[in-house]
Chain A
Amino acid sequence: MAVEFEPKIVGFLCNWCSYAGADMAGTSRLCYPSNIRIIRVPCSGRVDPLIIIKSFQRGADGVLIAGCHPGDCHYTEGNYYARRRFAMLAPFLEYTGIERERFRVEWVSAAEGKRFSNVVTSFTDQIAKLGPRQARIGKEELV
């Protein structure tokens, strides 16, 4: 690998569990790699495939979706639909040439600060190992 590869990871976190879980990681001062950029959404069910594919197209090295554990959804059902949606998307992304390891869905509760920092750490390491995407974006001049 060339110099030091700094992966850029986009994280979509549901407001009620995972975003709070990330806050918890903060309040408990649990350090994790700084590569993740967290985008707050009301529910993992709000995250549409379009924004994910878009993130990859823009050059994201990894995308993390985190929501309430199944059954704990603040909106009772949102993450169940999300689960199906991303279960379809994950292998499809791989099929179209984006490594499976670059897309991750995790359930993180508001209390699981430790778990959140672990998830981010392992995900970041995983992607760092994978190296940057052979994204064509480089070759193109973007809008």
Chain B
Amino acid sequence: MPGAYAYYPGCTQESSAKEYGESTKLVCEELGIELHEIDGWTCCGASSAHTTNHLLSVALPTRDLQAAQEMDMPVAVICAMCYSRLKYASHELRDPKTLALVNEVIEKDFQNTTQVLHLLEILDKERIPVRKSLKRLKVVCYYGCILARPKKVTQFDDEENPQIMDRLVSNLGATSIDWGFKTECCGASLTLSRRDLVRDLSHRVLVAAKQAGADCIVVACPMCHSNLDMQQEGIAQQHGDQADMPIIYFTQLVGLSLGLSTEQLMFDRHFVDPRPMLREKGVI
């Protein structure tokens, strides 16, 4: 049921994950899902905030939620980290004392009634008019750690074996391969500080995907994407095997099935260019 949402893009959409944001916009237009970008949205604080100060880590996302409250629409999020932080905030705020304290901090009167949804949850309810079947495409869906975890906070999907993205890609005609690394960690925010570890973890994921026989990995998180895509060169250096594994946002995949062009979907921005693979599979 196409509806209207208060859209929270998240900082990365303005730079490293532009293609995620753009594809999202295009896809939603195609599907008649209204995304109204929250005016003056600010950072959710990401892992840094809750690593450093608990109150801050709740206050920052609450500010955005409050903004959405004024728009009186459910919030649509695409970044897994943002999603997790927003969800976490509203979870914490169920405690009146915390709510009061945070309201004091943000000097607003937030009710904590605003619903937070990930685009996957929204699309899950949509009928997608597939114009271009992806039937020859074999993919693995990679949810990362925080999209589905912890369930008592996100209420997203099964913690250990989420299905929502797999459902989506099979709706698009592609084959989603079951594999064991759906929710394994990619190294997340250690990208800059302990890249060696990121490369270990991401390497595990890439190898698993290859063994599963996937043509590409479908992701729903900018951080996962950057770690898996951008680091592949470095991973090859560190571990001596070249994955050449395209990493594609689920929104880009939907876009393809809706017949959007590779330019519109910004495949040129990927470090590992998916287009040869897509061509070979007759998707483009």
A and B touch in the complex (CB under 8 A): no
Give A contacts to B, CB under 8 Å. Answer: none
Give B contacts to A, CB under 8 Å. Answer: none
